[in-house]
A and B are shown apart, each in its own frame.
Chain A
Amino acid sequence: MRALFLRDLVLALRAGGGFGLGLAFFLIVVVLVPFSVGPSSELLGRIAPGVLWLGALLACLLSLDRLLAVDWEDGALDLLATSPLPLEGVIAVKAAAHWVTTGLPLVLAAPVLGVLLNLAPQGYGVLVLSLALGTPALSMIGAFGAALTVGIKRGGLLMSLLVLPLYVPTLIFGAEAARRAAEGQDPATPLLFLAGITAGVLACMPFAAGAVLRVNLR
């Protein structure tokens, strides 16, 4: 398991596009927002939590379609399936590696991008906390989507259609927590819901993903 995790990290680093691509996409989306809604700082500050969350979610989605497709194309997935590692573990480890290469940089970059959107000063801490709590669920749900569509040519679009609706609860509570904090309200309730959703996803999704992957490999 550790070997697989390290291999995925090394591959993301060497192949390029692992750490950088999602982050650059996040940056560009956030920079484009003032161009589209106008430079009113009061308006930008109001929509900042939602925009940052939506940007992080889309950036996360960007690299998901290659999560299992690469291993499927070069035959490594078949070989992993016949190895002593359980497929559930393989999926969970790959989702964890995806989070470290995509989700974690987004979490760390979000405060910097918050400045670009004139996010209220009291909102930064909770924004980072909500992203840190929510993005692991995004990676894990995305791994489930990747397992569902593995082996389908051009499956990336189909995967996005399947996965985006599943992202809704995480997006609602994550953006709500950040918005409440920015407006000076208590963000505890949405944060607790967000943490609960993530915990549930991390507990259940590896098994669902392992099951669909087993069917897909047949």
Chain B
Amino acid sequence: MGGFCALSCSGSDIVMELSVTDLAVGRGGIPLLAGLSFGLARGRALVLRGPNGSGKTTLLRTVAGLQLPMAGRVEVGEDSVAYAAHADGLKAALSVAENLRFWAAVFGQSGIDAALRAFDLEPLAERRAGQLSAGQKRRLGLARLVVTGRPLWVLDEPTVSLDAASVAQFGAAVRAHLGHGGAALIATHIDLGLEADVLDVTPYRAAADAMAATDEAFL
């Protein structure tokens, strides 16, 4: 993960939550995106767009620190990222409230009521996560973001299997998060009703042989 950058990164007086400089990312040693540079200020959201397989997920995993960049830098505050991917990390044998309480404890937070309310999960709080529908599970997965208390949400296709009302709920939750000085980096294909900047990653596609062979798999 990059260096600490809670204050201004580029000399401007906007507080940057995330700053990416000349980043190249790849999956399994194959470069996918190259030459990416963008910043994300507090209170702002950035929506990533691009066709399937264009490297959005890889970019998000790199920003979250789950994999190393092939080149360039990701500067993000230490312990500031809350990552949500396709899988929600829910335990079927635990109830909705227990799942949330676990993640709250892991992130050193307490209180899950706000998260339950934000995603309308209160009636389901005592239900086992294994008995939820796909959309309800997704809402629980997104409610986890609220209990992490982290400023930068990195979301990979957050609206999969959500109905229209839940998408609106999710949009409201993201707006509330931005309103509290948070930031969000979201890969999605649908309109969330956010005032967000849009970054299309298609022009940054890396040529397959643009990079020298790496030994990333062995590091």
Contact = CB atoms under 8 A, between A and B. Distances in A.
Nearest to A218: B67
Interface SS majority for chain A = helix
A76 B91 contact: yes
A81 to B, nearest CB: 6
Given A82-B66, A83-B106, A11 B93 contact: yes
A75 B106 contact: no
Interface residues of A, number: 25
Given A7-B102, A15-B93, A84 B85 contact: no
A82 B64 contact: yes
A157 interface: no
B170 interface: no
Contacts, number: 73
B82 A14 contact: no
Contact of B87 (A2, A15, A74, A85): A74
25 contacts: A2-B105, A3-B101, A3-B102, A3-B105, A7-B102, A15-B93, A74-B87, A74-B90, A74-B91, A76-B87, A76-B90, A78-B85, A78-B89, A79-B103, A79-B144, A81-B66, A82-B64, A82-B66, A83-B106, A83-B107, A84-B79, A215-B219, A217-B66, A218-B68, A218-B216
Interface of B: 64-68, 79, 81-91, 93-94, 98, 101-103, 105-108, 144, 148, 216, 219
Interface of A: 2-4, 7, 10-11, 14-15, 71, 73-85, 215, 217-218
